[in-house]
Amino acid sequence: MTSVEALFMPPTATGILFAIVFLLIVYLLFSDASSQEENKEPPGPKPLPLLGNMLQVNLKRPYLTLCEMSKKYGSVFTVYFGPKKVVVLAGYQTVKQALVNNSEEFGNRDISPIFFDLSKGHGILFSNGESWKEMRRFSLTTLRDFGMGKRGSEEKIIEETHYLREMLKDLQGKPFDTSQPLNYATSNIISAIVYGSRFQYSDHQFKEMVKRANDNIKLGGSPSIQIYNMFPWLGGWLKDWKLMMLNFDQNLKQIKDLVMNLEETLNLEETRGLVDSFLIRKKNSEKSGDKDTLFHEENLIITVSNLFAAGTDTTSTTLRWCLLFMAKYPQIQDHVQEEIDGVLGGRQPVVEDRKNLPYTDAVIHETQRLANVVPMSIPHTTTCDVTFQGFFIKKGTCVLPLLTSVLKDDTQWESPQNFNPAHFLDEQGRFVKNDAFMPFSAGRRVCLGESLARMILFLFFTSLLQHFRFTPPPGVSEDQLDLTPAVGFTLNPSPHKLCAVSRASHE
């Protein structure tokens, strides 16, 4: 048989089988490679079984560990909190691309066990789907109706500044803890909008309610609660979890009592605040026989609780940082007070003055940036499978936008680790915006009270600096004032005291 004839001989069964196996191996190898390339997941440190990367993370300040990890693994990486897989987003460009440019894909809220315990999927902060959309839409519309960003809320804030100033004046320049006065004042703004009235600072129930809410914010960031979120079956054994649940239940009872009193005196023709608006919607739904209405008691109580927790803590904490930075950097305080005196003299500041007080505005913004009150945002989840920056992220994956990495991104800020109001000023001293300024997060889940918070910060800070000089207590130098944040879900200053010394010419 010639070699040519051999080429055209019919193949044997063994040859056919060999060819099929060879082709199958080639197919599997190449398809697996392309599949791996297509479904390439973000890199990250190797996790241990069950514990994940828990031993590598500083549970008191996890945001610091995650920032360090981003230097090694890049701006999109995977970390395991216990058995839970989390994709971390670091740096301005990456966080913006996810939350703003891909807001739908990254728009759901990840509800950790502790926040499900507290909200059961109701309210605004820790809910998804139609309930979240309806409650957010209602809250935003109602807050606007009651003057958020307009003259109505401006008058409420200005009224509250008078009460706060009187409280500080009564201290006669003696050292005081800044947390209580500022918590009470900011909480009263929310009270005026939600309930239609404010509380006296001496009201025992009010003081207890504010204290419990603040305690829960601190406990929410504690190592034991983070461990609970990884291993929820530990709940009954953890002291912090028991205390959080007790605080929350007591605050809910107080909110229910306040709501019941408002319901008994409800006037359909005149709404006093957000609760009245909700109750009217609830009654209308009941009249029409709408059994699927989302305007039910659970959503009302949790929404009110959310507004107080989010609206009081972050704003009062930022104001505490403002005053601490002024005491720490007296030359910056000098500059702020010179500008306020030159533009306002002794008259009451109003929101309209902001454009004529660029340095003061820059100091407030720089405080928000450097204080970094919510360093890790509130986690999101993906609404669908998504390929992001070349990585595959599966639907339902927890995603953590690392806001601290945006606010301190060295590609966006000249001196990210220092307090530098020039970050928000041009060469002529005019205020300039920076897109990497994201203390309120961004995209679908951006803080709905942002414009209200901005008004409170400006009016409170300007009014306080107009009337008082903030200094360290006697015997404490500026250098001794500690800027290390306390442990908590939000970053408060470490416990400290300041003196509010009256500026006699403005009294």
If one counts every other C-beta atom within 10 angstroms of the C-beta of residue 49, the result is: 7
Tell me the backbone φ, ψ of residue 442, rounded to 5 degrees: -160, 165
Q: Could you give the angle at which helices 297-328 and 330-344 cross, rounded to 10 degrees?
A: 110
Residues with Cβ < 8 Å from 191, sequence gap 6 or more? 197, 198, 199
Q: Nearest-CA neighbor of 156 among 333, 274, 314, 322?
A: 274
- In this structure, the strands spanning 380-381 and 108-109 are antiparallel
| 126-131, Cβ contacts within 8 angstroms, sequence gap of 24 or more | 126/306, 126/378, 130/294, 131/294, 131/299
Tell me the backbone φ, ψ of residue 77, rounded to 5 degrees: -145, 165
Instruction: State the chain's maximal CA–CA distance in angstroms.
Output: 118
Q: How far is CA 463 from each of CA 140, 431, 507, rounded to the nearest angstrom?
A: 27, 20, 12
Tell me the backbone φ, ψ of residue 67, rounded to 5 degrees: -65, -40
Q: Nearest-CA neighbor of 198 among 208, 187, 213?
A: 187
Residue 466, SS3?
Answer: helix
- Per the listing, tokens 């003057």 go with 147
Distance CA 480, CA 28 (A): 65
Q: How far is CA 159 from each of CA 73, 401, 452, rounded to the nearest angstrom?
A: 50, 37, 15
Q: Confirm whether residue 398 is marked as ligand binding.
A: no
Q: Nearest-CA neighbor of 313 among 167, 423, 214?
A: 214
Distance CA 252, CA 460 (A): 29
Residues belonging to the binding site are 447
Residues belonging to the binding site for heme are 447
